[in-house]
Homo-oligomer: A and B are copies of this chain.
Amino acid sequence: MKSISRKIKNEGEKIGFVPTMGALHEGHLKLVDTAKKYTDFIIASIFVNPLQFGASEDLRSYPKDIHYDAKLLENRGTNILFTPSDKEMYPEEYDTSIELPKLSSALCGATRPTHFKGVCTVVCKLFNIVAPNIAIFGEKDAQQLIILKKMVADLNFGIKILAVPTARESDGLAISSRNIYLSSQERKDAPVIYQSLMLAKKLIENRERNAKKIKDEIRNAISDKLTAKIDYIDIVNKKDLTQVNILEGEILIAIAVWFGKARLIDNITLRIP
């Protein structure tokens, strides 16, 4: 992969990179579309990164169908699919990890304490292997996006991170590889996450600035669904992910909710006028 990507760059082509864990859906394919808009050669990767799963999480059951995924990527114009093995990525005696302790302690990091260390480590490795000009990530994973942008700046990578808006089902549910875990009742209830974000947006448009009041309204809306179990509802400063009490500047409203075995996340970003 390394020698191919260096050859492509030496020929003057720009590489767009879409790292994934497979189980591809329209959200991932929109990342490919964006990569094609800005670069000449598209490399996607599929690697279900064990480092970013906690001990009790769904590493073993994470959906896998690499041939189907490869077809989807090819049809959408991906030039190369890179699928390293666990052993190639983390040989015995592997010892290196990367972390951003401040940005990783909030939101998903609070309930998944080693998750972002795993994400940063694998993305750094993939960046060094693929050497892209641009890498594309989805806005659904808002904290991941903010952390990776910071890592790229902090470690002086010469790589541009592009963000693509969350792809949604017609009822607003953010498309996720984990949606296949949902029972039919859970699937019916899950759009409440996005609905509650839209409710929050409306409250803010109507000049509500008290974060606690907005979070309470979100909590009430979600708690209405019997299959929902809230992990967190947070309103934070988009830059440093610190809690906001009175809304101002650019804020991120981020939510994680369990529906059965599926932990679903969603978010919106707003600039308070």
What is A's interface to B at a CB cutoff of 8 Å? 2, 6, 93-103, 120, 124-125, 128-129, 131, 150-151, 154-158, 239-240
Contacts and interface: CB of A to CB of B under 8 A. Distances in A.
Nearest to A125: B156
Given A128-B158, A156-B125, A157-B128, A150 B96 contact: yes
Contacts of A156: 2, 125, 128-129
A63 B187 CA distance: 65
A154 B96 contact: yes
A112 B234 CA distance: 38
Nearest to A90: B154
A149 to B, nearest CB: 11
B155 A124 contact: yes
Nearest to A100: B95
Nearest to A102: B95
Interface centre among A103, A125, A128 (most CB of B within 10 A): A128
A155 B128 CA distance: 7
Contacts of A93: 102, 239-240
A103 B97 CA distance: 12
Nearest to A1: B156
A154 B95 contact: yes
A240 B124 CA distance: 23
Contacts of A101: 95, 97
Contact of A97 (B2, B99, B158): B99
A173 B98 CA distance: 36
A120 B96 CA distance: 10
A158 B2 contact: yes
A94 B100 CA distance: 9
Given A125-B155, A156-B125, A98 B100 contact: no
A-B pairs with lowest CB-CB distance, top 6: A96-B154, A128-B156, A95-B100, A95-B102, A129-B156, A125-B156
Interface centre among A98, A99, A154 (most CB of B within 10 A): A154
Contacts of A151: 96
A52 to B, nearest CB: 16
A131 B150 CA distance: 20
A94 B154 contact: yes
Nearest to A3: B158
Given A2-B158, A93-B240, 20 more contacts: A2-B156, A6-B158, A93-B102, A95-B100, A95-B102, A95-B103, A95-B150, A96-B98, A96-B99, A96-B100, A96-B151, A96-B154, A97-B100, A97-B101, A98-B98, A99-B99, A124-B155, A125-B154, A128-B156, A128-B157
